[in-house]
Amino acid sequence: MKTKKQQQYSKVSTGDDDEEEGHYSSLHTTRIGSTNSHQPVVVVIAEDGDEDENGDTSSFLAAEDECSSHGESKDGDDSSDDEESSVLINPYSPSALPTGVVLCIGLMLVSASAAALLTTLVVQLSSPPSSSRSNTDGGGSKIMPQTRPGLKIMPQTRPFPADLMNESSGAYDSNGGDFVNADGKTPPFWANVRDGKNDTHWGPCLPPKPSSHQGVAASLDWKSIVHWNHERTSDSAIKYPKRDLPPESSPWGMCKPGFLIIGAGKCGTSSLYHYITGHDRVLPASEKQIHYFKYFPTKPMSWYLGHFPSTQTFLGSGALLSGEASPGYLPYPDVVALAQKRLPGPKIILTARDPLDRAWSSYRYNYVAPALEWAMKGKLREKSIPKGMTEDYYRENHLFSFEEMLKAELKVLRECFEPGGRGERKAKERFGKMAWAIDEFQRREQQGLPPLIDLDEHCYGDKVKHLVPRRQWADLIEANPDKIINLPNLHLVQSFIGRSIYALPLEWWYIAFPPEDIYLVCNEDMRDNTADMLNRLTSWLGLPDFDFSDVVSQGMYNVGGHQGYDKATPWQEVDPDAGDAGDIQPHDGIQKEDEHDLLEEREENIPIPEDLRKEVLDFVRPYNERLFELTGQRCSWL
């Protein structure tokens, strides 16, 4: 049985995607009544939505030394447009406010062009206890600790449960050896446990909600929890928290992800995710692709964190990490900003493959396969196309060739990448004054560096008319009105080359996350040197040594068409002669697509003219070099 581990928790979402630079222009105060609870509580009252110079609203809470508070807030998220005030209340004070209240009022003046100023006032308030008003404010009204999206909760610091490090029955090494590996690396969020410091979290996990004044550590039978998890025979028995909680709910008993695989699509993210979660100190999320920061940002963080194992399961298993793999994260700067704001701290992993191979794989997977399926079933908008015909009929008469799609896309990308072109101009208009990105825009201008480009959002243009969903295809459709283009996932069909230019979207991630927390996996290493690649990667993640041979021997994931991200195809079925890589055979009359770098998808086997092959490779080569320089790692393709 595997004993796996890890996770991270963060701020509750208000669903506000965009950030605006802000200033703390005023202080707000509130009247807080007395209770009969004797636990201290930290209350910070400030205007919601203001950011520090890094675009993170949580840093103004770090008045720990001056206020004797218990660490910065991990709950809640600041909405840049919300004008309501935020109140941070210690949830370990069972629903009541204390006799002695420490009131910390933090004033931070933040601007893109000005330094931050923090003034902290400490006021000791006292009031006699009153049993008749133990759960009310001064006027007798009940206190509702989180009734607004802007309300944030700052837990007290707690020691890591000693029973979890018991030499005979604990889940972790009693000397703390689990929290630093042979290369001296510590997994994300475990540094305080490693150093024996109290924290608001136990590693990446927030303790379950306490049910008594004894505190949560004393109320949990960790010995039984550890025993149950050791008896667990498969990941299907992992317990995940409830996700359908009220929006204002705090993520008690939830854990944060320690790694995010952000893409790129068609580069082996499914296989890499399953290999990593095959490590015996890593627990998987309830699903591989959550895409919270792109498609579900209006849901609270408790919904997102509910996809990861509960605190009891995570710690009871002796886990060190959990994570997710959402390829839709890589291309979008707004995802970068949101991830930094709500979930600081995880490791960021990028997979990349030969750009032309990836483009060809995406063409087959995201265009050819769905076009054939829709045509055969008569689901197309182009009503003139008959249903139920053969695959060869549709390929010959109604599908655009890979060559046609590449030429059309190259044209719009060249225009977009021109100095002062749409990609540069639109990126600056949208993000150039935001606190998290303004310094990088200025640095690039001052040093004459290539500009930041928001490729996916602004290089392809908008819908031209009903049957011309992107301007890059206007000429193609006019000349070939009976060919198929209106399909699901147009954002993937439009960008066969664009999503193979990894450097441009990754540069945004380097603005928001430390360079040492970003790692590039070359797809050919995952295929040809799998064990070495995984050992290097998991060492960087802070995990102990592990033999991945049994995990990798299961094969590759999400190959042979979209059979499911958790579906493993044995190596022998991928190609009996190739061993660890090879052709996917035709199935049900439709050539299925693969997420891995298969032989038939390699550059030399792609059916395009040699001059177009050279044109594409010459176009992407400078961006390959930017990727290698950015990451400090060179893949075998140039």
User: Tokens 């176009």 — which residue?
Assistant: 619
| 313-322, 337-346, 381-390, range with the lowest pLDDT | 381-390
* Residues written for the chain: 638
Exposure string over 166-189, b if 16+ CB within 10 A, otherwise e: eeeebbbeeeeebbbbeeeebbbb
- Alpha-carbon span 143 to 150, nearest angstrom: 16
Helix (DSSP H) and strand (DSSP E) numbers for the chain: 24, 11
* Residue 319 scores a pLDDT above 60: yes
Mean per-residue pLDDT, 600-604: 56
* Residue 53 scores a pLDDT above 50: no
Q: Which residue has the higher pLDDT, 72 or 177?
A: 177
Report which of 193, 200, 326, 317 is spatially closest to residue 251, judged by C-alpha positions: 200
279 with 543: CB under 8 angstroms? yes
Q: Quote the longest CA-to-CA distance of the chain.
A: 85
Out of 206-215, 339-348, 485-494, 591-600, give the one with best mean pLDDT: 339-348
Q: What is the percentage of the chain residues whose pLDDT exceeds 70?
A: 66
Q: What is the CA radius of gyration of the chain?
A: 27
pLDDT in tens, 607-618: 999 999 999 999
At 216 the pLDDT is 54
101's enclosing H/E stretch is strand 100-111
| 126-130, 199-203, 406-410, 547-551, range with the lowest pLDDT | 126-130
pLDDT in tens, 12-49: 333 333 332 232 222 233 332 333 333 333 333 333 33
Report which of 307, 187, 322 is spatially closest to residue 261, judged by C-alpha positions: 322
* Residue 507 scores a pLDDT above 50: yes
Mean per-residue pLDDT, 171-182: 94
User: What is the identity of the amino acid at 352?
Assistant: A
Mean per-residue pLDDT, 390-418: 95
pLDDT in tens, 353-387: 999 999 999 999 999 999 999 999 888 866 688 98
Report which of 621, 617, 577, 616 is spatially closest to residue 600, judged by C-alpha positions: 577
Residue 41 Rama label (left phi>0; alpha psi -120 to 50; beta): beta
At 556 the pLDDT is 72
Contacts of 188 (CB under 8 A, 6+ apart): 6, 8, 204, 258, 259, 321, 345, 346, 347, 541, 542
At 569 the pLDDT is 65
Q: What is the percentage of the chain residues whose pLDDT exceeds 90?
A: 51
At 23 the pLDDT is 29
pLDDT in tens, 246-263: 777 778 899 999 999 999
Q: Which residue has the higher pLDDT, 76 or 269?
A: 269
User: What is the identity of the amino acid at 171?
Assistant: A
Mean predicted lDDT score pLDDT of the chain: 74
At 233 the pLDDT is 64
- Decide the pairing of beta strands 321-325 and 259-263: parallel
Angle of helix 610-631 versus helix 503-512 axis, rounded to 10: 10
